[in-house]
């Protein structure tokens, strides 16, 4: 069990810099794409052909499943009495009990480099790649993280007040 907790702590600590980098890259990618699309649309033939890259903007009309909010609003318009009941049910708050697993490193103890390398390798990275990435990831993790002496937790279950288990992505 100790090794499983070590792996959980290592993954938790590695998630911080990886998630931060992912969010930064995702934001930059969206900004880049929007700007490039605007430039391409300004071109006479609405496309770009370079020596190594190309880009064009196409508009596609697609049928898309109606969203829940849109469907409920339309239902409420067509059937005002039932719509009011449905909207009331949606607005109701329900108590949810969350089950958390708390974990941490005992005072005076640390995770080893190998603990982190093993966690990185569990994502499919080779040992060499994991060892090459480790120093930068751990430095970013330390800069982004608050003091790691605090106990950490993760939700492992959600339950309605009556004890009925809910899906973890249900709110």
pLDDT digits (tens, 9 = 90+) for 103-157: 888 888 889 999 999 999 999 999 999 999 999 998 888 877 654 456 677 777 7
Report yes or no on 170 lying in a domain.
no
Domain that holds residue 121: 2-58+66-165
Q: DSSP secondary-structure letter at 66?
A: P
Count up the domains in the chain and report the number.
Answer: 1
Would you say residue 32 lies in a domain? Answer: yes
Q: In the structure encoding, which two tokens stand for residue 48, read together?
A: 């770009």
Single pTM value for the model = 0.62
What are the structure tokens assigned to 85, written together?
Answer: 């009941």
Q: Mind listing the pLDDT tens digit for each residue in 47-106?
A: 898 889 999 888 777 777 778 888 888 999 999 999 888 888 887 766 677 777 888 888
Q: To which H or E segment does residue 82 belong?
A: helix 80-91
- pLDDT for 31 beyond 80: yes
Alpha carbon of 73 to those of 64, 70, 86, 94, 170: distances in Å?
17, 5, 10, 22, 21
Residue 68's alpha-carbon distances to 16, 82, 84, 88, in angstroms, are 32, 16, 15, 15
Per-residue pLDDT band at 161 (split at 50, 70, 90) = low
Q: What is the pLDDT of residue 171?
A: 45
Whose tokens are 């039932």? That residue is 82
Are 114 and 127 a contacting pair, CB within 8 Å?
A: no
Q: Residue 147 has what pLDDT?
A: 46
Q: Would you say residue 171 lies in a domain?
A: no
Identify the CA nearest to 76 among candidates 63, 65, 57, 89. 89
Q: pLDDT tens-digit profile of 35-64? A: 999 999 998 888 898 889 999 888 777 777
- At residue 165, the pLDDT reads 57
In a domain, 35, yes or no: yes
């Amino acid at each position: 069990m100790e090794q499983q907790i070590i792996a959980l702590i290592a993954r938790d600590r590695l998630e911080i810099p990886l998630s931060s980098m992912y969010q930064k890259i995702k934001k930059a990618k969206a900004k880049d794409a929007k700007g490039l699309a605007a430039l391409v649309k300004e071109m006479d033939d609405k496309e770009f052909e370079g020596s190594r890259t190309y880009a064009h903007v196409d508009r596609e009309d697609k049928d898309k499943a109606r969203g829940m909010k849109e469907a409920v609003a339309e239902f409420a318009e067509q059937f005002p009495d039932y719509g009011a009941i449905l909207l009331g049910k949606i607005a109701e708050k329900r108590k949810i009990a969350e089950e958390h697993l708390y974990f941490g490193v005992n005072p005076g103890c640390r995770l080893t480099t190998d603990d982190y390398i093993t966690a990185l390798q569990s994502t499919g990275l080779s040992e060499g790649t994991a060892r090459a990435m480790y120093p930068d990831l751990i430095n970013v993790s330390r800069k982004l993280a608050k003091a790691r002496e605090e106990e950490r937790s993760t939700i492992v279950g959600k339950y309605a007040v009556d004890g009925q288990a809910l899906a973890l992505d249900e709110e």
